[in-house]
Structure formats: C-alpha cells, structure tokens
Structure 1
Amino acid sequence: MKFLTKAIQTAVSQRETGRRQFWAWLNAVFNKVDYDRIKTVGPDRAAAEWLLRCGAKVRFQGLDRWHQDYNALPTGPLDRHKIVAIDATDSCIMYRGFDHLDGLKYLDEIQFKKCIYLEDTCLEKLSSLQNLQESLHLLEVVSCGNVTDKGIIALHKLKNLERLFLSDLPGLKDKQTTVDRLQTALPGLDINLDLD
C-alpha cells in the first residue's frame, strides 16, 4: 500500500511540474517583444497589447476608465491613444517584455502588485528608460517577492518620481537603509514604506 501511495504522489508531483513548466513557457511567449509590431502600430498600442495579454490594465490619456479587454482596445490614428497609467496587479509581466515600455512618453503611473515575475532586473530596466525618467511620477511595488533592495535602489534614476509606495516586499532586507539611499538620491520623493 505504501508503494502505491508513493507512486500516486510521484505522478501528481510530475503532473504539477509539467503544468508549471507549461505556464512558464506560455508567460514567456506573452512577454516576447515584437519590434516589427512596435514599428507598425507605435509604442503605446504595442505596449497596451503586451500588457493586456499578460493580464494587466492600462488607462489612456483623456479617458477615465481602465482597459483590460484586449479585443476592446481603442482604434483610430496610431498617435491618438497614449498610455498614462498601468495597473499590473496579478499580471504575468516579466523582464523580457519590458522593452515594450521604451517609447511611452506620457506614462505617469505604474502599479506593480502581486507580480510574481517582477524582479530587480525589471526595475533596473524601468529606471534606465529615458522616457520614463522624464514622465513617471507615481510607482507602487506591493507583494512582489522577487524584488530586493538592489531593485528599489535602482529607482534613483527616475528623477521626476514624486511618490513611491512599497509594501509586503520580503526581499527587502535592509529597508531603512534602502529608503535612506533612495531619499538621498531623490530628495523630493515622498516614500511610503509599509513595514509590516
């Protein structure tokens, strides 16, 4: 009987591993950057398509509502709809897709909440994009377990960032020192750190 129980546990474990590998592969496909598509439809439309494929929401300039349905993205002239806000809550966005953010000149606000693939390299990439250094004013990073002090410190390049909200980040080991270093680099930044 013990042998049968062990065999069933092994089979279930292998099936779960296969499912995880499938979803990891699918998420990687969703995050692949199509540079030809960016040239064809423009950076805002291509970024919106990427974000919605990955389960995020976007808000466009002049529109109050959040868009989360890929098939209901606004149409019209390519330069008409500019992304001003991203809500990536529970999305599968990952580093390989962050090149989609290059060229977004009006992006003012980003919320990363419960993003299991968000890691330091994502925040480093975000901070290195010249257009976001100019436009981004509000950033939230909440319940993203792969973000460490290194990723938060990398945000110092976002020179126009006005508000930063950090919460439930178990990867932050030296929270106060990290916040102090960021505050020194960006003295006008309002940092809200939820220490719980």
Structure 2
Amino acid sequence: MNLLPKAAQLILAAPKTAPPQNCRQFWGWLNAVFNKVDYERIKAVGPDRAAAEWLLRCGAKVRYQGFDRWQHDYNALPTGPLGRYKIQAIDAAESCIMFRGFDHLDGLEHLQEIKFNKNIYIEDVCLERLSKIENLQSSLRRMEVVSCGNVTDRGILALHHFANLEHLFLSDLPGLKQKDRTVETLQTALPKLEIELDLD
C-alpha cells in the first residue's frame, strides 16, 4: 500500500531534469553573499576567527593548531580570548568558497594545509591570489587540488610561490592540458616538493 499522496507520486515518477537557469543563478548569488568579506568583522575578531566563520558558512572545515578534530559546525565555533585559536588546516571539499572571499586568508599565519576537492568556484585566479599571500608563501606545507574543473596549468604553476610546500596532490583536473610540462616546471622551481599525480 502506497501512503504517498497521488500528487507526490507523480512528482517522484516524473523524469529528472536539470535545474532551471534561474535556480542556478539564485544559488550563485547566495554563494556570492556567503563569500562577501566584512573587513570590520576581521578587525573586531581577528583574521583566524573571521576566516573560520567564512569557511564554515560556505561549507568548509577548519582544524586549529594543537587540535586533531575538524571544526565543521558554525554554531559550535570555539569561544575564548581573541587569537587563541589559529587555523592550521582547511578542508574546502565541496564548499562554495570563491575568489571574492579569499581576502579572509590574508592574516592567517599558521596555515599549513589546504584541500580543494570538487570546488566549482575554484579557478586559476583563486590559486594565483592564494600564492600572493606572503604569510602562506612560507607557512603552507601541504595542498590538494582534486576535481576542480576550472583549474588549468596557469593556476598550478602559480603554486611555485609556496617555497616550503612539501606535498602536492593533483587529481582529476581536465583543465591541465600540458601536465608533464607543468609538473616539470613546478618541480624545478621547488625541488623539495613531492608531487603526487592521478591525472589519467
């Protein structure tokens, strides 16, 4: 016996179609709102707290220095003295972070690891912007760029600014058209970097 109303049965039985264009536009607009930088908020609570609020609001996770647990619940962000919690790692998998929010990363001094995985808004300009943040040029140690279809060779080459980068994992990046040349160039610029590839 089917307990669903007839109207619900018809909806479930209907062929699946792509979401309408105006629906995609709405989500793009909403994601842009989530990425808006509030510079007054950064001044008030410090760069690490403001960045954590931005990242969690957009669906990413953070791990603080001295902690093993990932923070993913915006409403459970730790409180305490300003500056006590320093972001050490960011897992931005399937989040909606985009270029316009990257100013949140400017003041992070302890960030060692970033994971981009299935991020539709991550593109070359994001990686180029990231590579120009002086604090990160020396602090970043590990990075993953996986299934980010808008990243090309240009974006990966920008990573040569991270002088202390130790491990880079690249996978499922259809935008890389000259992968061998790009990897070789990056490896020459950063001879201590271990590059792990899964690009076939």
| Alignment match of 2:28 (pick from 14, 21, 24) | 24
Structure 2 residue 194 is matched with structure 1 residue 190: yes
Distance 1:123 1:68, change over 3 A: same
1:135 and 2:155 matched: no
Q: How does 1:31-180 map to 2 (within 5 A)?
A: 31-180=35-184
> Unaligned 5+ residue runs, structure 1?
1-12
> Which string of whole-angstrom CA distances, capped at 9 and with x for unpartnered residues, describes residues 161-190 of structure 1?
010000000000000000001011111110
Q: Distance in 2 between matches of 1:14 and 1:50?
A: 29
Give, as a single letter, the amino acid of the residue that structure 2 aligns with 1:128.
Answer: K
Moved over 6 A (4+): none
Q: 1:76 to 1:22 in 2, by over 3 A?
A: same
Please report how far the alpha carbon of residue 77 of structure 1 lies from its aligned counterpart in structure 2 after TM superposition: 0.6
% identical equivalent positions: 73
CA RMSD between the two structures: 1.4
Structure 1 184/44 Cα, relative in aligned 2: closer, same or farther at 3 Å? same
The aligned length equals 185
> Which is further off, 14-23 or 96-105?
14-23
- Alignment-mate amino acid for residue 94 of structure 1: M
Counterpart Cα distance in 2 of 1:82 and 1:14: 41
Structure holding more helix per residue: 1
Shift of 1:195: 2.4
Q: Any unmatched runs of 5+ in structure 2?
A: 1-16
Residue 138 and residue 22 in structure 1: after superposition, are their counterparts in 2 closer, same or farther (change >3 A)?
Answer: same
Amino acid of the structure 1 residue aligned with 2:60: A
Q: State the distance in 2 between where 1:60 and 1:15 align.
A: 37
